[in-house]
Amino acid sequence: MSSNEEEAPSPFPVLKERGSRSEARREALDVLALAEALIEVSRKRLDTVAMHPMVREAIDIGAGITAYAARNRQVKAIASILRRLDEEEVLALQSLVDDGHRIDGIDARAAERWVTRLLEEPDALTAFVEAYPAVAVQGLRSRVRAVQKQGAGPRQRKQLLTTVREAITSARS
């Protein structure tokens, strides 16, 4: 190229701005993953973040869809809306999703500790009911007994863990 010639404009201006094609694809996949995660966030937690009404409506519609193909179309529609938002709004929604995953992890660890305590300590059931009064006491008691029975398999423990985790999660919300 001689010094007299000017550089021809890129036929792919979007790729030139963002960098490589791979980088643009990663960004698009990140936005798509965020859209999928937003559909799974509880309505109560979504109310805590100010967002564009179009985004909220699209998320609410997506949460109600159970058909695989229709849900995928809605996720792509949400991702399209997210790409048009300011970076600050997208970061706020991303932090909402990240906090939810952190809280879910905390709940899972707390539930596992409670299950161990319920199986090992005789007065743990009373302490659990005092800590989480919304739990169905009879159902919890029967699940604890089922796990304590000799020959009880992992299925009973998983059912107990699910019951405890639901009680902890409902108390948080």
Higher pLDDT, 5 or 161: 161
Answer with the residue of higher pLDDT: 71 or 45: 71
The per-residue pLDDT for 1 is 47
Report pTM.
0.53
pLDDT at 154: 83
User: Whole-angstrom Cα distance, residue 49 to residue 96?
Assistant: 8
Are 146 and 134 a contacting pair, CB within 8 Å?
Answer: no
How far apart are the C-alpha atoms of 63 and 39, rounded to whole Å? 5
Split at pLDDT 50, 70, 90, the class of 4 is low
Average of per-residue pLDDT across 72-100: 88
In order of their start, the domains of the chain are: 11-85 (no CATH), 101-173 (1.10.60)
pLDDT digits (tens, 9 = 90+) for 27-64: 889 899 999 989 988 887 888 888 889 999 999 999 99
Taking the C-alpha atoms of residue 100 and residue 54, their distance in angstroms, rounded to an integer, is 22
Per DSSP, the residues of 118-149 read HHH-TTHHHHHHHH-TTS-HHHHHHHHHHHHS
d(CA 87, CA 166): 34
User: What are 123-171's pLDDT values in tens digits?
Assistant: 889 988 888 888 888 989 998 888 888 767 788 888 888 888 888 877 7
d(CA 38, CA 96): 9
pLDDT top residue among 4 and 156:
156
What phi and psi, each to the nearest 5 degrees, are found at residue 56?
-60, -45
What is the token pair recorded at 80?
A: 């399209």
Q: Is 105 helix (H, G, I), strand (E, B) or coil?
A: helix
Judge whether residue 173 has pLDDT over 80: no
Q: Per-residue b/e over 3-25, b at no fewer than 16 CB within 10 Å? A: eeeeeeeeeeeeeeeeeeeeeee
Rounded to 10 degrees, the C-alpha dihedral 107/110/116/117 comes to -130
